[in-house]
Amino acid sequence: MADESRHQELETTEAPASAEPAASPPVPEAAEASGNRVLSALRGILLPALALLAAFAVGAIIIIVTDFDLLGQWGSDPIGAIGASWSSVMRTYGALLRGSIGDPGALFSALFSADWEALRRAFGPLSETIVSATPLILTGLSVALAFRVGLFNIGAEGQLYLGSLFAVIAGFTFVGMPWFIHLPIAVAAGFLGGAVWGFIPGLLKARTGAHEVIVTIMLNFVSYNLINWALKTEFVQREGRPDPISKIVEPSAVIPPLIDGLRAHWGIVIALLAAVGVWWLLFRSTKGFEFRAVGFNPRAARYAGMSISWATVLSMVTAGGLAGLAGAAVILGGSGTLSPGFSPGYGFDGIVVALVGATRPLGVVAAAFLFGALRAGATPMQAATGTPIDIVVVIQALVIMFIAAPALVRAIFRIRAERRMGSEVFAKGWGS
Amino acid sequence: MKLELRGITKRFPGVVANRDVDLIVQAGEIHALLGENGAGKSTLMNVLYGLYRPDDGEILIDDRVVAFDGPGDAIDAGIGMVHQHFMLVPVFTVTENVMLGVETTRGPLGQLDRRAARERIVEISERHGLHIDPDATVEDLPVGVRQRVEIIKTLYRQSNVLILDEPSAVLTPQETEDLFAVMRSLVATGTSIVFITHKLNEVLEVADRITVLRRGTVAGTTTPAEANREELAAMMVGRDVQLVVDRTPAQPGEPILEVRDLVVRDERGHNAVNHLDLTVRAGEILAIAGVQGNGQSELVEAITGLREPDAGDVLLAGQPLADTPRDVFEAGVAHVPEDRMEDGLIADFTVADNLVLNSYWQPPFASGLRLHGEAIVSNAETLVGEYDIRTPSIFNPVGNLSGGNQQKVIAAREFSRPIKLIVAAQPTRGLDVGSIEYIHRRIVAKRDEGAAVLIVSSELDEVVALGDRIAVMYRGRIVDTLSPEEATPERLGLLMGGAHPEDGEPVDLVGTAPAAGSEPSDG
């Protein structure tokens, strides 16, 4: 009893605000509560937004101090150097923006010119952002979903590869099908491939307690080599090619572009639908109720009659499937063929996307677009300003750092700490 | 040493934890600080110990004003605190633990002078009858002895005022008696003791004077001679409290829960429940008394499907009880778990979600995979009103509620459906008197509706207040079953300590013959 009483008393001394309203009469007003929800959602956005701002600010400093011409000017002409630094930073970030979203002027005039070619060119950067964001949304959802159940899915990369293998096989094996049958089959095959790769660590965890972090990391290696082997088999390898590359999928299994001539494809719609689906699963379904209960407090979940084993297996299967969808989307919406190492680490970036998105589906989508934009804008930025592409990686890392250290952002912007912030769910860390 | 707190006020954002509190502790007295959870006891003691700086008021020692910048200053001024959670290094010996922070050294290299420290510890131990082996490793010591090590630590630092924060919470009744003896010995030599508690009996037994805190202010100061339990409870809560709920004699009906020859092994493979039999009938409360760790938890887990029994039967209304928690739930068993935050609730879930924690999957809360949010909300609104759960909103995380309100959430969830049997383990642990009264009333009301009730409690007061029959559990067995009239604290205490029901000898646990009384009568 002592434990409890002490806990309670500490609660009152340390956070008296929370104890005080408990003494007021219970007036559960739905309107007020929903108002609070909107408010808390806004607060949830505030911190990541400020973290982004801080990351770009520090990024600007790095742009300045890594430019040796500028540094020289600081010595001879400090006043002029301020202006030069400012314009250098603006030029770099401007190029980044134009490379990821597009030139606002060109976008505007293209919209009114009704010239297809101008439109395509103006929307090119945005299209590239969408192409990068599509797999990141799906792998981010994969990691976020598992995390809600208290599992750390480091295996999204491997699940993505398995998904792409299954999708590409389904894509070239069935010939002569109409696209509205073939494409769903190929996409579903991608989900299945990832799901199988998620099922293995899920089952091992549920049955033997094997830690999913270890198992998923190891399965990543297995998946690379499995792909390498599969691409050399007669069944998968393209005829007449000595290198490991798959046959090309049938046109009926290709995810069509959103607009002809642009690379952005309908995979983004699949990803957004998946985000809605994950949101529904987590917050509107009985299974999601179980998932979250197990994630927060497995003992209480068991006491309440839930099966922890089932939740573990089911969530890992779903998480794997989502990562598999990412693989399917990249292959079927892109080159239409599979080769080793086609993923620049979408699965690992998914961990970051889930973290930055506070494991909320909407947050994951937003974070995926952010990282997609940074990725898409990096190369045009380097071409236009000569700023090394690495600055983008630095900014990505800074965003993560500021989001992972909310106390730091609060200190910089002098925000009063709120006790429960969504992003802090990650504070649980690596424990099972 | 005389200690005086004068007009202490401590504010936190949004709340005043202490308002104008006066407290005078005379040299050589045991001064009990009594109050409900959240009344401000700990805040006050943290002010005294230098952990908080008061917004207003002053601390006087022997009539001189002092100011503490941290616990170091308080310790230097002769104030020692024994925290509820011990601050000991388990792998160190008693001597090393006591020395830690005030090491005596000798020689040019500053070698630890263990011998000198050891001698002083032995001397302190003998003076106050603490019976401490200075060479024992702390992790090998029982809880009661560890607490005495903490007391020695403060005495070793020459404390004249000792603050004991809920010291009896972790102790058995016997250990508590030992502690009181030590406390009396200490005050006899001039030490003052501030004794923080919310247990009325202990206050009346050991305190010289009593100060009651309520909502951060002093509700009154009295002495055990002038006050009784009811008055103290009323001072704590601010209204009259029934310490023992009124109830009519039980009307036992059909046997509902029958446990036959049950064996349950614990993690180490020992028989935690050792061929136990018991019967609970409809409309009666069977209370199981016992020192914690005598198999009560394993018994409850076996009945509620959380742990697989190794032998024996559990029957509910004559039918074997299914073996998963969900089946047990569906069979009409309500379970109030021993540890509400670990097992009973999900702290991060809202009140509304916690109220459907074990029924979320069935109509009206769900159809198929789909949860019905409106049904969950309206269920919560009804129950929050019906069970007087004090929360700003049903969407508040349950972890932010007070312990009493958390237990009400569990009671609301478990009792608000047709049930045949209630299994409640330590149902009022850590709750203040007002909440205890409330929970007890709900349990008795369920009994009167015809439910069979099995209560497991290590609180003698609770066992006697609720039980229509009282079974004492010792080392996995029921050693005797008493009526409330027979169940005097002395008799229960002896049985809980393992004394044989008839002749006061320890029960023969090795023999195959069942101990007398292990078969409870059906009355």
Residues B222 and B299 reside in one and the same domain? no
Q: Which of B417, B437, B462 is a domain's end point?
A: B417
Least confident of A58-67, A423-432, B110-119, B446-455: A423-432
Residues B27 and B119 reside in one and the same domain? yes
Predicted ipTM beyond 0.95: no
Which token pair is A360?
Answer: 């909320």
Q: Which candidate from A26, A292, A293 shows the least CB-CB separation from B390? A: A26
- Whether the pLDDT of residue B227 is over 90: the answer is no
State the Cα–Cα distance between residues A204 and B32, nearest whole angstrom: 55
Q: Which candidate from A11, A25, A286 shows the least CB-CB separation from B366? A: A286
A31: nearest CA partner in chain B: B393
- DSSP element (H, E) containing B405: helix B403-415
Q: What band does A26 get if pLDDT is binned at 50, 70 and 90? A: very low
State the Cα–Cα distance between residues A402 and A424, nearest whole angstrom: 12
State the Cα–Cα distance between residues B377 and A311, nearest whole angstrom: 25
In B196-244, which residue ranges form alpha helices assigned H by DSSP? 200-206, 229-237
Residue B511 covered by a domain: yes
* Distance to chain A for B366, nearest Cα, Å: 7
Residues in chain A with CB shorter than 8 Å from the CB of B378 are none
Q: β-pairing, B79-82 with B161-165?
A: parallel
pLDDT value for B508: 43
Residue B313 covered by a domain: yes
State the Cα–Cα distance between residues A301 and B349, nearest whole angstrom: 12
Residue B457 covered by a domain: yes
Q: Which residues contact A407 (CB under 8 A, 6 or more apart)?
A: A417
Spatial contact of B20 and B7, defined as CB atoms under 8 Å apart: yes
**A274 or A108, which is more confident:** A274
Residues in chain A with CB shorter than 8 Å from the CB of B381 are 28
Q: Which of B360, B390, B417 is a domain's end point?
A: B417
* Distance to chain A for B212, nearest Cα, Å: 15
Once rounded to an integer, what is the mean pLDDT over residues A225-249?
93
User: Going edge to edge, which strands form the sheet with B3-12?
Assistant: B15-25, B3-12, B56-61, B64-66
Q: What percent of chain A has pLDDT over 70?
A: 86
pLDDT value for B209: 94
Residues B429 and B456 reside in one and the same domain? yes
**B400 or A171, which is more confident:** A171
Residues B455 and B481 reside in one and the same domain? yes
Residues B179 and B291 reside in one and the same domain? no
- Whether the pLDDT of residue B351 is over 90: the answer is yes
Q: Is B227 helix (H, G, I), strand (E, B) or coil?
A: coil
Q: By residue range, what is the domain housing residue B407? A: 339-417
Residue B245 covered by a domain: no
State the Cα–Cα distance between residues A170 and A336, nearest whole angstrom: 11
pLDDT value for A186: 97
Closest Cα partner for B163 from B227, B35, B75? Answer: B75
The answer to whether the CB atoms of A6 and B349 lie below 8 A apart is no
A125-138 residue pLDDT tens = 999 999 999 999 99
Residues B435 and B407 reside in one and the same domain? no
Closest Cα partner for B185 from B117, B144, B261, B130? Answer: B130
Interface test with A, best of B402, B407, B431, B433 (most A CBs within 10 A): B402
State the Cα–Cα distance between residues B343 and B425, nearest whole angstrom: 11
Once rounded to an integer, what is the mean pLDDT over residues A43-70?
84
- Whether the pLDDT of residue B514 is over 70: the answer is no
User: CA A10 → CA A91, B17, B42, B233, distances in Å?
Assistant: 53, 11, 7, 22
User: CA B493 → CA B188, B257, B488, B500, distances in Å?
Assistant: 28, 26, 8, 12
Amino acid in the structure at residue A8: Q
Token pair 């074990």 in the structure block, residue: B358
Residues B209 and B279 reside in one and the same domain? no
B381: nearest CA partner in chain A: A28
State the Cα–Cα distance between residues B374 and A22, nearest whole angstrom: 24
State the Cα–Cα distance between residues B90 and B112, nearest whole angstrom: 19
pLDDT value for A400: 84
The answer to whether the CB atoms of A286 and B370 lie below 8 A apart is yes
Residues B409 and B428 reside in one and the same domain? no
Q: Which CATH number do you get for residue B111? A: 3.40.50.300
Residues B319 and B354 reside in one and the same domain? no
- Name the DSSP letter for residue B45: H
Q: What band does A392 get if pLDDT is binned at 50, 70 and 90? A: confident
A300-320 residue pLDDT tens = 999 999 999 999 999 999 999
pLDDT value for B33: 92
Once rounded to an integer, what is the mean pLDDT over residues A150-156?
95
Q: What band does A35 get if pLDDT is binned at 50, 70 and 90? A: low
pLDDT value for A422: 36
Q: Is B56 helix (H, G, I), strand (E, B) or coil?
A: strand
The answer to whether the CB atoms of B430 and A3 lie below 8 A apart is yes
Output phi, psi for B137, to 5 deg: -80, 135
pLDDT value for A353: 93
A339-386 residue pLDDT tens = 998 999 999 999 999 988 888 999 999 999 999 999 899 888 888 888
Residue B247 covered by a domain: no
Number of Cβ within 10 Å of residue B344's Cβ equals: 26
pLDDT value for B520: 42
Q: Which candidate from A9, A28, A285 shows the least CB-CB separation from B42? A: A9
Residues B172 and B197 reside in one and the same domain? yes
Domain count, chain B: 3
Residue B285 covered by a domain: yes
Cα A266 → chain centroid: 18
The answer to whether the CB atoms of B369 and A286 lie below 8 A apart is yes
State the Cα–Cα distance between residues B420 and B453, nearest whole angstrom: 9
pLDDT value for A22: 36
Residue B243 covered by a domain: no
A306: nearest CA partner in chain B: B326
Q: Which of B384, B417, B450 is a domain's end point?
A: B417
Q: Which candidate from A11, A19, A33 shows the least CB-CB separation from B393? A: A33
State the Cα–Cα distance between residues A170 and A218, nearest whole angstrom: 26
Strand runs labelled E in B405-484: 421-425, 452-457, 469-474, 477-482
- Whether the pLDDT of residue B504 is over 50: the answer is no
Residues B385 and B437 reside in one and the same domain? no
**B331 touches A at CB < 8 Å:** no
Residue B242 covered by a domain: no
Residues B372 and B401 reside in one and the same domain? yes
Q: Which residues contact B360 (CB under 8 A, 6 or more apart)?
A: A286, A289, B353, B366, B371, B376
pLDDT value for A259: 86
Q: Which candidate from B306, B368, B392 shows the least CB-CB separation from A303? A: B306
∠ CA B172-B173-B176, rounded to 5°: 85
